[in-house]
Chain A
Amino acid sequence: MSLGALAAAIAVGLGALGAGVGNGLIVSKTVEGVARQPELRGQLQTIMFIGIGLVEAIPIIGVVIALMVMGR
């Protein structure tokens, strides 16, 4: 088993864990906020997308690194 494949798997796995937990927290708070004040749904949705984009940046960079080292 080549070390490149192992490194790629660890990078993507841990990145997915972080992204999953982070996104879950963001969306759950957004749902709670919309449930409290339904008239703010549009603004809260916008903020949610911004938060998801920011949180997913580092795990996506991890995926790119994994694709780069996968072949070695």
Chain B
Amino acid sequence: MNETSAPIIEGLFGIPWLSVNLANVLMIIVTFIVVLVLSILGARNLQMKPTGVQVVMEMILDFVKGIINDTMDWKTGRLFLPLAITLFLFILVGNTLGVITTIIVNDQVWWTSPTADPVITLTLSTTIILLSHYYGLKLRGTKHYFKSYITPVWYLFPIKLVEEFANTLTLGLRLFGNIFAGGVLLTLLVQLTKSGILGFIGGAVPFIVWQGFSIFIGAIQAFIFTMLSMVYISHKVSDH
């Protein structure tokens, strides 16, 4: 496969270890604009009998509220509803944007899913785990937080430590792996359909099927990320 590179600026602002992938910056801005426009369209002219985009937004809200309710009681859970909706919508839109088109300019990939970069997904998962620790400390106090490491048996303490790191890694890498593998296969299928008439006949239908499957996988991964985030937060914030 012909090598495509990413538009990375090395040494931003003269700091040698700080590098930025401009494609990620572009895609995060695009995702944010899409989510913003969707939310504004869904929330203006609120009516008691909803029509149009408001129906979709209410469905998404009810869905995310169900996710939070499954893991903790609503009294503590209502604090996390904006976080969960933001996470869900960002990951859903981010996953879908890379499936529809991919734009390559001068051998550099500019338009792809922002979640196809491990840096972004690991940032998201680290933020969630740090937030869970912060809310555990804030809502339950320091004594309960430190005691939770040695209950029910004290010699499980190293395992509980490793569990935090394992949760962070798998939460981020799961999302990255699913979206990245889907994107690579999409690129391979495009090259198949480009290589002659036999390749086109053989590759057209799998290409469309794979695009549909990628959208499905994107939605499932957004759901799983949000739900696992709420599960990890509920472990720290409320009793199981």
By a beta-carbon cutoff of 8 Å, the part of chain A in contact with chain B is 49-50, 52-54, 56-58, 60-61, 63-64, 67
Number of chain B residues whose Cβ lies closer than 8 Å to a Cβ of chain A: 14
What residues of A have a CB within 8 angstroms of the CB of B19 in the complex? none
Question: How far apart are the CA atoms of A67 and B173 in the complex, in Å?
Answer: 14
Centre residue among B170, B174, B184 by max chain A CB count within 10 A: B174
- Contacting A at CB under 8 A, from B204-231, are 220-221, 223-224, 227
Spot the interface stretch: B104-112, B134-142, B145-153, B175-183: B175-183
Verify B181–A53 contact, CB threshold 8 A.
Answer: no
Cα separation A11 to B184 with both chains bound (whole Å): 17
Would you give 25 A-B contacts (Cβ < 8 Å), ordered by A?
Answer: A49-B220, A49-B224, A50-B223, A50-B224, A50-B227, A53-B174, A53-B220, A53-B221, A53-B223, A54-B224, A56-B178, A57-B174, A58-B170, A60-B174, A60-B177, A60-B178, A60-B181, A61-B173, A61-B174, A61-B177, A63-B177, A63-B181, A64-B173, A64-B180, A64-B181
A69 nearest CB across to chain B (Å): 13
User: Bound state CA distance, A60 and B224, in angstroms?
Assistant: 15
Task: For A50, list chain B residues within 8 Å (CB).
Answer: 223-224, 227
B170 with A57: CB separation less than 8 A: yes
Query: Measured between alpha carbons, how far is A50 from B223 in the docked complex, in Å?
Result: 8
Are the C-beta atoms of A67 and B184 separated by less than 8 Å?
yes
Is A64 a contact of B224 with CB atoms below 8 Å?
no
Quick one: closest A residue to B224, CB to CB?
A53
- In the complex where A50-B227, A57-B170 touch, is A64 in contact with B221 (Cβ < 8 A)? no
Min distance, Cβ A28 to any Cβ of chain B, angstroms: 19
